[in-house]
Structure 1
Amino acid sequence: MKKLILVSSLALTLSGCFSNDETKEITPIFVNTYTADQQIAISERTFQGTTVPADMTPLAFRHGGKLERLTIKSGDRVTKGEVLATLDTAKLKQQLQDAKAQRDLANSQFKRAETLKSKGMLSASEYDELKANQQLTAIQYKVLMQELKHSQIIAPFDGVVATIDVESYQNISSGETAFSIYKNDVIYVDVPVSEAFIEQLKKLDDPYDLKAEVHVKALNTNYEAKLKLFSAEPVAEIKGYLARFELKQSVRQLLPGTSALVAINIDQFKDNEQTAVLVPLNLLVAQEEQGDFSVWKVDESGSAELTEVLVSTTTAKGALVIDGVQLGDRLIASQLSKLTQGKEIQFVDGHQ
C-alpha cells in the first residue's frame, strides 16, 4: 500500500512539472495597406444586368401520348396559331373508331328499348340499363374526340422558342412541359441592386419615370430603357433586391440571358450630389449576395475590421465606393484571405 501511495505522489509531482497551461504567443499577420485619398464626383450609377424575356410561357399537351417528329428548335420564331408539336394519334384514332361503333350500337339498342317499353315488353330495370349504356358510350366518344382535338400544341402568340424539354418520338405525360416560348417584341433587363438604391427609388415622386441607358456589349449598341418594377423585399433567387428595366424599342436579335450594363444618371434622384472614394479593385472582397462587397479596414486599435461597402461603378482605375469608405481610411491591401475579424496585424513598413 505504501508503494502505491509513493508512486501516485510521484506522478502528481511530475504532472506539475509538465503543465499544459503554456501561453501561446499570437503571431500577427504582416500586411500592406492603402490609404483612401482620392474622392471623385459621380454623375451616374452603373449596374450589371441580364436580359429576360417578357411573357415566358411553358406549353404542354392536355393529354399524354407519344410525340411525332419535332421540327422546331430553340430560337425559332413562331406565329400565333402555328402548330408546334403533334402527338402520334394512330392508336387514338382507332380507339375513337371503336368508341363510335359502340356509341352507335348503344343508340340503336336504346331506340329499340323505347319501342319495347311502350308495348310493355321490357322491364324498367332493363330499360334503365340500356339508357345508362347509351349515355356512357356517348361520354367515352366525346372524351376521345377532345383528346384528338388537343393532340397538338398551337402557338398562343407570336414569339420565339426559348427551350425544348422533349425529344422526337418521346412518350410524354399530360401537363408535362414540352417547350417554352416568349414574346420577342418586349425585352427586360433585370439588375440586382442594394437596399440603399431601393430607398432612393422610394423617395422619387414616381419611381417608374426613372430612365436608364442599357449598353449591350454583344451588339455594341446602347438602348433607352425605363424602370418597369422593383422589389420591396429581397428576392430569394438573387439573395438581394431587384430592379427591372424595359427597353423602349423592340430588339428582336437580343436573346434572353444576354449581359447588359445599365447606366442611370443620378441627376434624376433627389439627393443627387454624390461623391465616391476610389478603391483599387483588388481590395474588394465579394460577399455571398451578388453585387455586394466589403473591404478590410485598419480599425482604431490596429486590428483588421471587415466593412461592407456600396460600389457605384468600376473603372480601369478602381471601384467608386459611395458608402463604407471615407477619405483617410486605411485599407488592408494584402493577405486578405488570411484575415479574420479583429485579427492583430503588423505593417510591412514596420509603422503603426
Structure 2
Amino acid sequence: MPQPMRTPRGPLSHSRITAALCALLFLSGCADDETPAQVPPRVAFVEPLQRIDHGPQTLRFPGVVESVTTTQLAFQVPGRVERMLVDEGERVEKGQPLAKLDRTDYELQLREAEARLRQLEADLARKRTLLAEGILAPAAVEPLQANVVAARVARDSALRDIDHSTLNAPFDGVVARRLVEPDMVVATGSSVLELQNNQHIEVTVDLPETAALNVPLNATLQAEGELVIADLTLPLTYKEHSTQPREGSRTYRLTLRGDPPADYNLLPGMAMRVRLQRPPAAQDDAPPRFRLPLTAVQAAPNGSHYLWLAVDGHVQRRDLQLERIEADHAVVSGELNDQMLVVVAGGSKLSEDQPIKAERRK
C-alpha cells in the first residue's frame, strides 16, 4: 500500500529564499527614492526700534515772511517832482535813478555861486600882486581870502543840491509804493517812495518758552521754511532773537534769514511753516535708548537679555541692556539703531541664523 508524501520541515527551499531577498531589495529601493520635505521659513512679526532720547528732534512753528529792509525814501532838498522814473513792483539796482525834481532853481543858484566865486578869485589875484609889490598890507588881503573860501562853499553847496534833486536807489530792491506823483511839491525829508530790500528775506517765528529753552539760538541753528500756498522749501539761517517776551504772551521773537527763490515773488506777509532742528541732548556720552514691545526681549540662562534682529531673511541675536519696563514695553540700550527690525513675537522658538519670513503687524 503506497505511503503518503510528507512535507519537509527543514531549511527553506531555494526558491522561497530568493523571493524573500527580492522583496527586501524592492522595499529598500523604494525607501532610497524618498527625500525629506523642505520646511518653510517661520513667519516672524517685526517692528522698527523706536528711539526715545539723544536723537535730533524737529520742531514746527508758523512763521511770517518779512522784508530784510523796508525804507521810505525822500529827497534831501525841497522842490517840485518833475518825473517818477519807476513803478510799483519794479525791481531796481543800487544807484539807479528813481525820481527827479525840477532843478531849475538849483541850476540858477549854481550859476550865481560860480560867478561870484570867479569875481572874488580875480580880485584876490590882483590884490596878491599888489601885496607882492609892497603896495598893499597883508591885512587888506586876508578878508578877501575868507570871502573866496565862502564862495567856494556856496558853489559846492549848489552842486550838492543839484545832485540831491535826483533820488537814487540806496540798495537793490523792489519798489513797494509810490507815495507822490509828478508835479507835486515835496518838502525836505518828505517820503516819496517805499523800497524793499529783496536780496534776502526774513522769516519771524514766535517761540514758546520750552522751545526757546532747548533750541540753539545762534548760528548753529538748523531751520527750514515751507511756503503754505506753494510747493516751495527754503533753507533758513539764524539772524537774531529777542530776549524779552512779547507783550501779552510768553513767546520770544526769532528772526531767520534766507535767499528768495528766483521763480516766486515771495512777498512780506506770506505765511510759512518753519521747521527747527533741536540737537541731541548731551548726557555724558550715555548710549541712546529705545522703546520696544516687552515680548521682543528674551532672557538668557545667565540672566542677561537679548533680542532677535531680522537681517536678510534670517535672525541674528543682539545682546542688550534692559533699562526699565513701562507697562507692556521695555526701554533698552546697547549697540542698536532705529534702522533695525526687531522680532516682537515668538522669539523663544528661534535660533541663530534661522530663516524667517519677516512681516509687519497690521
> Which bin holds the TM-score, normalised by the shorter protein?
0.5 to 0.7
Question: Post-superposition shift, 1:245?
Answer: 3.1
1:262 and 2:273 are equivalent in the alignment? yes
Whether the aligned pair in 1 keeps the contact of 2:236 and 2:258 (CA below 8 Å) is yes
Any idea what SS the aligned residue of 2:82 has? coil
Output aligned runs, 1:26-175, within 5 Å.
Answer: 45-175=59-189
Find the counterpart in structure 1 of residue 295 from structure 2.
none
- Stretch moving more, 97-106 or 129-138: 129-138
Whether the aligned pair in 2 keeps the contact of 1:187 and 1:250 (CA below 8 Å) is no
Find the counterpart in structure 1 of residue 226 from structure 2.
214
Pick aligned residue for 2:208 from 183, 194, 201 = 194
Any idea what SS the aligned residue of 1:261 has? strand
Identity score, percent:
24
Question: Post-superposition shift, 1:138?
Answer: 1.7
- Stretch moving more, 149-158 or 169-178: 169-178
For 2:222, give the aligned amino acid.
L
For 2:224, give the aligned amino acid.
A
Whether the aligned pair in 1 keeps the contact of 2:65 and 2:267 (CA below 8 Å) is yes
Q: 1:50 and 1:130, CA in 2 relative to 1: closer, same or farther beyond 3 A? A: same
Output aligned runs, 1:211-250, within 5 Å.
Answer: 211-217=223-229, 220-234=230-244, 240-247=251-258, 250=261
For 2:234, give the aligned amino acid.
E
For 2:253, give the aligned amino acid.
L
Distance in 1 between residues matched to 2:187 and 2:106, nearest whole Å: 15
Q: 1:256 and 1:113, CA in 2 relative to 1: closer, same or farther beyond 3 A? A: same
For 2:228, give the aligned amino acid.
V
For 2:158, give the aligned amino acid.
L
Pick aligned residue for 1:180 from 191, 194, 203 = 194
Question: Post-superposition shift, 1:94?
Answer: 0.6
Any idea what SS the aligned residue of 1:149 has? helix
Task: Give the count of matched residue pairs.
Answer: 227
Question: Post-superposition shift, 1:237?
Answer: 8.0
Distance in 2 between residues matched to 1:252 and 1:176, nearest whole Å: 35
Moved over 6 A (4+): none
Deviations 1:248-277 (A, max 9, x none): 552463343333231427775659x9xxxx
Whether the aligned pair in 1 keeps the contact of 2:63 and 2:274 (CA below 8 Å) is no
Distance in 2 between residues matched to 1:244 and 1:90, nearest whole Å: 47
Find the counterpart in structure 2 of residue 284 from structure 1.
none
For 1:93, give the aligned amino acid.
E
Question: Post-superposition shift, 1:128?
Answer: 2.2
Deviations 1:114-164 (A, max 9, x none): 223334443544322222222221221121112222322222333211233
Distance in 2 between residues matched to 1:104 and 1:265, nearest whole Å: 68
Whether the aligned pair in 2 keeps the contact of 1:228 and 1:244 (CA below 8 Å) is yes
For 1:231, give the aligned amino acid.
H
Any idea what SS the aligned residue of 1:188 has? strand
Specify the structure having the higher radius of gyration (Cα): 2
Distance in 1 between residues matched to 2:101 and 2:153, nearest whole Å: 22
Find the counterpart in structure 2 of residue 281 from structure 1.
none
For 2:168, give the aligned amino acid.
I
Distance in 2 between residues matched to 1:248 and 1:104, nearest whole Å: 54
Q: 1:265 and 1:81, CA in 2 relative to 1: closer, same or farther beyond 3 A? A: closer
Whether the aligned pair in 2 keeps the contact of 1:50 and 1:258 (CA below 8 Å) is yes
- TM (norm. structure 1) is 0.55
Question: Post-superposition shift, 1:165?
Answer: 3.7
- TM (norm. structure 2) is 0.53
For 1:201, give the aligned amino acid.
V
Question: Post-superposition shift, 1:50?
Answer: 1.5
Whether the aligned pair in 1 keeps the contact of 2:214 and 2:278 (CA below 8 Å) is no
Q: 1:120 and 1:236, CA in 2 relative to 1: closer, same or farther beyond 3 A? A: farther
| RMSD over equivalenced CA pairs, Å | 3.3
Any idea what SS the aligned residue of 1:51 has? strand
